[in-house]
Amino acid sequence: MESAEKGDLRDSVLAVSRRGFLGGCIGCAAGLAGLSALGLSPAFGQATAGASNKARVRLIFTHRSPKEATWPNIGYDYDGRKKELTEKLRADCPGIEFLPTTLDSANSAKKLLEKDKGEAIDGYVIYMVGIWTGVPQAIAASCRPTVFVDDLYAGSGEFLVAYSEAKRNGLKVAGVSSSRFEDVVEAVRCFECIKKLQASVILRVGDGFGSKEDSVTSAFGTKIEHISYEQVNNAYARADKAEVKKWADKWMNEAEKVVEPTRETIEKSAAMYLAMKQIMDEKNARAITVNCLGGFYGGKITAYPCLGFFQLNNDNFVGACESDLKSTITMLLMSYLVGRPGFISDPVIDTSKNQIIYTHCVGMNKVYGPDGKSNPYHIRNHSEDRKGAAIRSLMPLGEITTTVEFDADRKEVVMHRAKTVENVDEDKACRTKLAAEPIGDINKLMRFWDRYGWHRVTFYGDLKHPVEHIAALLGFQVIEEA
C-alpha cells in the first residue's frame, strides 16, 4: 500500500471517534446509493432497514423536591435540565421513541412497572438528575433492560450504589457516569440495536456449527430461515448475464491485482453473489451464512460465495462463512451497533512476535463502513483446494481492533482488543492474514478456544464500551480473553 493511501486511511478513522462514528450506524442503508448503478433492486436496499418501528424507551428522570437541601442543590431547576436532556436525546437517537416521565420514589417506580406490563416497552433509561429516590433499584429489579445515567454532581451517590448492586446481582443494567454526552448516546442506542435484531432474518444454507438456532432466537429474537442449495442454484442459474459482467468488471478493476482466478471463475462468483442477493431480497434478510466448504467440496454449488460475502460485508449486510451461526449473529449485532463490518477468521497465534493473526479467505475492504475509505485487495483462489475465487484484503495498520464472539448458548461474549501491525504474506492457509498485537497477555489469549470455538470476528475501532453496554442489556457476561 502506498504511504499516502495509508495516511488517508488513518486520517479517516482518526477523524471519527469511537463514539462519534455511531452516528452513522443507525441508517443502515448508508453507501447503497452508488449500488443502483450496478443494477441492485430497490427491495434489496430496503432489507437494510431491519425493524421499521422505533424502539420505545421509558426515559425516567429521578429526583426529589427542589425545596430539599440535597444534591445538586436546593432550588435546582430540574424541569429545565430534564427538558434539555430530553431534546438532546431525541436529536441524537432518532431511531428511538422516548417516553419521558419523572419518578421520586420506589413506590412510584413499582406503579409504573405495573402499568407497563400491558405496554410495548423495549427498555428503560434512568437519568439520575437528583439522588436518593430508590427508583433505579426498583426498575432494575424488574429484570428489564435498563441504562443508568449519572448526571454528574446530581445523581452520583445513588448511581454508584444502585449500579454496583445491580451488577453484583446480575441484572440487565448498563451504566454511564461521564461528562461526555456521546457516552450516554452510545449506551442508549443499544436499544435500537436490540429492536433491529428482533426484527431481523438470517438465512442459513447447509448444515453448520456455532450457537444453537433456538438459543439465538431466544437471546436476540432473530429469525433463522433455512435455504437449500437447490434454491441457491436456481437463483444462480437465473442470474442476469449483464449484471454478472458488471460485478466481475467492478471487482477486477478495483483489485490491486488478480492472481490465479480466470475471468470465467470471477463471473461465477458474481452469479453466486447475485443469487444470494436475490434470495435475501425475497426474504427481506439482512444476513446469510453458507456451508461454503461442504457445498463446494460436495458439488452442491459451483462457485464459492467468498466474493459475494466480500461485497455484502462492504455494504453493511452480513455474509458469513461455513454456516457458523455464532459468528453470523455477532456480525449482524455489531453491524447494527457500530455500522462496521466484521472479519470472520481462524486465528493463528505467534508468541515469538506477540501476535495474533486473523486468517480467512474472505475479508471486506471497507473496514470503517460503507462510507469509509477503501483499502487494497487481491483476488486469489481459495486456499485449501486452490480453486474458485477469494479475497486477500490488505487492511489498515496501526489501528485498534476489537474481536468478539457472542455465544447465545452460554449467554457470554468473549472479547479482546489488539493493534494491527502487518498484512502477512504467506502462501499457507487462508488468503487474508491480518496480524495484530493483543492488548493484554497473549498467553492468556490461548486459553479460551475450547469454550467458544476457533472462529472470531474482528472489527476496526476500540469498541470495548459499546460491547459491554449491549452485553449488559442482553444479559450476557463479558469474558476478556487477553
Whether 36 is covered by a domain: the verdict is no
Q: What integer pLDDT is reported at residue 297 of this predicted model? A: 84
Whether 35 is covered by a domain: the verdict is no
Whether 34 is covered by a domain: the verdict is no
Phi, psi of 301 (to 5 degrees): -135, 155
Q: What integer pLDDT is reported at residue 118 of this predicted model? A: 85
- The CATH number assigned to the domain holding 71 equals 3.40.50.1070
| Helix (H) / strand (E) containing 190 | helix 190-198
d(CA 369, CA 31) in angstroms, rounded, equals 8
Other beta carbons within 10 angstroms of residue 101's beta carbon come to 11
Q: What are the tens digits of pLDDT across the range 153-165?
A: 999 999 999 999 9
pLDDT at 2 over 90: no
| Helix (H) / strand (E) containing 114 | helix 106-116
Whether 23 is covered by a domain: the verdict is no
Span 315-325, average pLDDT: 94
Whether 1 is covered by a domain: the verdict is no
d(CA 118, CA 106) in angstroms, rounded, equals 20
d(CA 287, CA 306) in angstroms, rounded, equals 14
Q: Which of 149, 176, 193 is the last residue of a domain?
A: 193
Same domain (yes/no): 60, 46: no
Report strand pairing: 201-205 vs 173-176. unpaired
Span 213-225, average pLDDT: 96
Mean pLDDT of the chain: 90
Same domain (yes/no): 357, 384: yes
Place of cell 433455512: 226
pLDDT at 31 over 70: no
The domain total for the chain is 2
The CA-CA-CA angle for residues 378, 281, 218, to 5°, reads 95
Domain coverage including residue 437: 9-16+42-50+200-480
Short-list 269, 341, 344, 259, CA closest to 308 = 269
Same domain (yes/no): 181, 209: no
- The CATH number assigned to the domain holding 433 equals 3.20.14
d(CA 230, CA 144) in angstroms, rounded, equals 43
pTM of the predicted structure, to 2 decimals: 0.89
d(CA 447, CA 47) in angstroms, rounded, equals 39
Same domain (yes/no): 463, 438: yes
Q: Which of 163, 193, 223 is the last residue of a domain?
A: 193
Same domain (yes/no): 221, 187: no
Same domain (yes/no): 285, 224: yes
pLDDT at 443 over 90: yes
Dihedral of the CA atoms 452, 456, 459, 465 (nearest 10)?
Answer: 10
Residues 332 and 50: beta-carbon distance below 8 Å:
no
d(CA 12, CA 88) in angstroms, rounded, equals 26
Same domain (yes/no): 242, 375: yes
Question: Which of 51-55, 322-326, 460-464 holds the top average pLDDT?
Answer: 460-464
CA 386 to chain centre: 31
Q: What integer pLDDT is reported at residue 210 of this predicted model? A: 82
Same domain (yes/no): 177, 313: no
pLDDT at 7 over 60: no
Whether 125 is covered by a domain: the verdict is yes
Cβ-based burial of 411 (10 A; exposed 0-12, middle 13-18, buried ≥19) = middle
Whether 265 is covered by a domain: the verdict is yes
Same domain (yes/no): 187, 208: no
Q: What are the tens digits of pLDDT across the range 109-145?
A: 999 999 999 899 999 999 999 999 999 999 999 999 9
Place of cell 437447490: 230
Same domain (yes/no): 188, 229: no
Q: What are the tens digits of pLDDT across the range 32-89?
A: 333 333 333 222 233 333 445 899 999 999 999 999 999 999 999 999 999 999 999 9
Same domain (yes/no): 299, 166: no
Same domain (yes/no): 143, 208: no
Whether 176 is covered by a domain: the verdict is yes
Q: Which of 193, 224, 248 is the last residue of a domain?
A: 193
Instruction: Determine what percent of the chain falls in helix, strand and coil, rounding each to the nearest 5.
Output: 40, 25, 35
